[in-house]
Amino acid sequence: MAQTTPNHTQSVVGWAAHDPSGKITPYIFKRRENGVNDVTIKILYCGICHTDIHHIKNDWGITIHEITGIITKVGSNVKNFKVGDRAAVGCLAAACMECEFCKDSQENYCDKIQFTYNGIFWDGSITYGGYSEMLVADYRFVVHVPENIAMDAAAPLLCAGITVFCPMKDNNLIDSPAKKRIGIVGLGGLGHVAVKFGKAFGHHVTVISTSPSKEKEAKELLGADEFILSTNAMQMQAGKRTLDFILDTVSAKHSLGPILELLKVNGTLSVVGAPEAPFELPSFPLIFGKRSVKGSMTGGMRETQEMMNVCGKYNITCNIEVIKPDQINEALDRLARNDVRYRFVIDIAGGARE
Ligand code: NAP
Ligand code: ZN
């Protein structure tokens, strides 16, 4: 996959999977020079998303897309960042900038969207993801990190955070006076941030999980009000028609039927988890409860900055386990086994701090 694009002159040390075994090893590749619209970022931390596992097993490449770091260079057109700023990059690297979605800063729904990983940038080069010491990014796809939140615990906000923030915002759950009963299915990287948002805005939050061991921490550590073990038929029965909104973050195949039953009439189930196999979607829980199922994909750049600002205001970050680059393979194995509380973050700069 290593390729040569004329202005790609900067050698970067990174790490990549080279075959479907998914093992990550060091890798040297080229990044572009800092153009007029670019900023260069010295990467400090990268979060590991479950999407990385979905990809690494199938693709060749680096996928990491939850990145925080410090700006080291700014192009001449860049007005909103300066050298030394705390910055962050998520899933998006480029979009057409002309369509109705781009004009409304919903770049994530542009049909020419290019991701930070395995994407093709405007100059024809491959975007290699954040799993390296340095990144050159177009300033329109970079956000500021509020001063009061730690750079390591902030990194996963760039995917896990924004992915749960947007559907909650779409359903008027962010900073709204109306208090709702919401359910979060799957208490992983995405799910635990969703619980924090829900509680920060005063909602009644129920965690729906397959892991009995997570009940205590869901309630005591994250402040969840209720916990339903989804494998327990009695608990699922007792939870029927109790929730206004549910966010499903589960990474594995499952049926949406029992989850839909937990919604009140007219409730909405927003799906952000991305299992490789199709969901089971039985018709009866849908039609008998006039319920809706929607999807949502990360967020646009304006919303990403808004989410970061909200996190700064409410002091919301992720619960993380910081690892060194040589522990990545072990971390990926543990993530695949549902054994992380709640996000791995790689210390890329090895102790260098902001
Ligand atoms: P994660 O940390 O691994 O969390 C996923 C959770 O799903 C687990 O903690 C577990 O929660 C539950 N789960 C796992 N296997 C399960 C099974 N076999 N049956 C039922 N529940 C199971 O993953 P993540 O990083 O939060 O990502 C979650 C999903 O969202 C992934 O599919 C990822 O690709 C996708 N994603 C989508 C977007 C988007 O834009 N829509 C963005 C980022 C990620 P419990 O132990 O509580 O059951
Ligand atoms: Zn992600």
The per-residue pLDDT string of the chain (354 residues; one tens digit each, 9 = 90 and over) reads 445 567 788 888 777 777 666 677 777 877 888 999 999 999 999 999 998 888 766 655 557 789 999 999 999 999 999 999 999 999 999 999 999 999 999 999 999 998 887 777 877 777 777 677 889 999 999 999 999 999 999 999 999 999 999 999 999 999 888 999 999 999 999 999 999 999 999 999 999 999 999 999 999 999 999 999 999 999 999 999 999 999 999 999 999 999 999 999 999 999 999 998 899 999 999 999 999 999 999 999 999 999 999 999 999 999 999 999 889 889 989 999 999 999 999 999 886 555
Which of the listed residues 48, 50, 59 should we mutate to test ligand 1's pocket, taking the one with most ligand atoms within 8 A of CB?
50
107/299 Cα distance (integer angstroms): 8
What residue type is 116 in one-letter code? Answer: T
Kindly list the protein residues whose Cβ atom lies closer than 6 A to any atom of ligand 1: 49-51, 54, 159-160, 163, 186-190, 209-211, 214, 249-252, 254, 272-275, 296-298, 335, 338
190/206 Cα distance (integer angstroms): 15
Ramachandran angles phi, psi of 94, nearest 5°: -165, 155
What residue type is 69 in one-letter code? Answer: G
Question: Which ligand 1 atom is at minimum distance from the Cα of 296?
Answer: 41
**In this predicted structure, what is the pLDDT of residue 1?**
42
With b for 16 or more beta-carbon neighbours within 10 A and e for fewer, the 12-51 pattern comes to bebbbbeeeebebeebebbbbebbebbbbbbbbbbbbbbb
Give the predicted TM-score (pTM) of the model. 0.94
Taking a C-beta distance cutoff of 8 angstroms, is the pair 89, 135 a contact? yes
- Tallying the residues shown for the chain, one arrives at 354
Which residue minimizes the CA distance to atom 34 of ligand 1?
Answer: 51
218/54 Cα distance (integer angstroms): 26
Question: Which ligand 1 atom is at minimum distance from the Cα of 191?
Answer: 26
Which residue minimizes the CA distance to atom 23 of ligand 1?
Answer: 50
The number of C-alpha atoms within 13 Å of 7 and in the hemisphere containing its C-beta is 11
In sequence order, the 6+-apart residues with CB closer than 8 A to the CB of 93 are 114, 115, 116, 119, 121, 127, 137, 138, 141
